[in-house]
Amino acid sequence: MSDKKRGLGRGLSALIGETAKQAVVEPAAKPNAAAPATSSPQKQPGAGDDGFSSLGVDQLQPGKFQPRKHFEESELMALAASIEKSGILQPLLVRPVAGKSGQFEIIAGERRWRAAQKAKLHHVPVIVQDINDVTALEIGIIENVQRADLNPIEEAEGYQRLIDDFAYTQAELAETIGKSRSHIANLLRLTGAPDAVRKALVDGTLSMGHARALLGVSNAAALVKKIISEGLSVRAVEALASTDKDDTRPRDKVKKDSAPKDADTRALEKTITDSLGLSVSIDDKGDNKGGSVRVSYASLDQLDALVSKLIGQ
């Protein structure tokens, strides 16, 4: 599987070829022109063996592995206006639908297809390829991620589907998608976010930083409203979330954590902090019962640097 995954991080152009991006179908001069029905892709005049084809909009259907679920109506209308003027400049990537002659599933380009219908085009340019399910999902995620078309929840669920359905690891995802492992890990955590947090992320009223701070918080819905109404910063939300989490711990645990640290522990914290360049907190249970070390980071770049140090890369 790893061999099959390599190289997809370059994006859609690696699969359909740079020349296909020059395709233009039904320009502004005649967006409503009638065209004969067709049950199979028609090669455009002058197209070579790797050229593009044309399909009727009614021959296409959304892909079952499309990670994007939300299409802004205003964006579709703007794209439709552009298509009416200049046509579709990049072909859609499609594959035949098994058991349905003349029908094709959209792998990449659903937004263009939707906008083309609003522009009343009859045909759209396509590249037809036999693509398996895992590659279809990879392409869907890569195309949308590279264009920043997915909201964080759609992106997270797309990654989770690759893990659940196709046995990807986070490291393989990072290599395939072209993102850092910390980015993948942080997004995957959002799949367990409360409904109020998920909705705010989809609506764009909450940032990734805010959402991460709210994970595991009991009153997340109330905090979401407070963040939006008061415009709270991520740091402020982290402080509120920390208080909420402290309040849910047993009283004896809170009391023990609040006990002052000895001079040796504080000195060790400073030594490690200076070495890593990150804030380090050591919580020792005492009596040789172990403890924990907490390393705080302010950005994904800092986390990447820490991971590199820990694994020796």
| 87: alpha, beta or left? (left if phi > 0; alpha if psi -120 to 50) | left
| 290: alpha, beta or left? (left if phi > 0; alpha if psi -120 to 50) | left
Q: Which of 110, 138, 143, 157 is catalytic?
A: 110
Q: Which letter, b or e, does each residue of 132-168 get, where b requires 16 or more Cβ atoms within 10 Å of its Cβ?
A: eebbbbbbbbbbbbeeebbbbbbbbbbbbbbbeebeb
Specify whether the CB–CB gap between 120 and 25 falls below 8 A: no
In this structure, what token pair is assigned to residue 207? 């940032």
Clarify whether 110 is annotated catalytic.
yes
Helix axes 195-203, 152-166, angle to 10 degrees: 120
Amino acid at the residue 167: A
Question: Which CA distances in Å does 57 have to 20, 106, 231, 234?
Answer: 19, 11, 44, 45
Report the distance separating Cα 126 and Cα 143, nearest Å: 16
H or E element: which one contains 282? Answer: strand 279-284
Amino acid at the residue 111: R
Amino acid at the residue 311: I
Closest Cα partner for 190 from 168, 170, 169, 208? 208
In this structure, what token pair is assigned to residue 213? 């701070």
Specify whether the CB–CB gap between 94 and 128 falls below 8 A: yes
Q: Which residues are designated catalytic?
A: 110
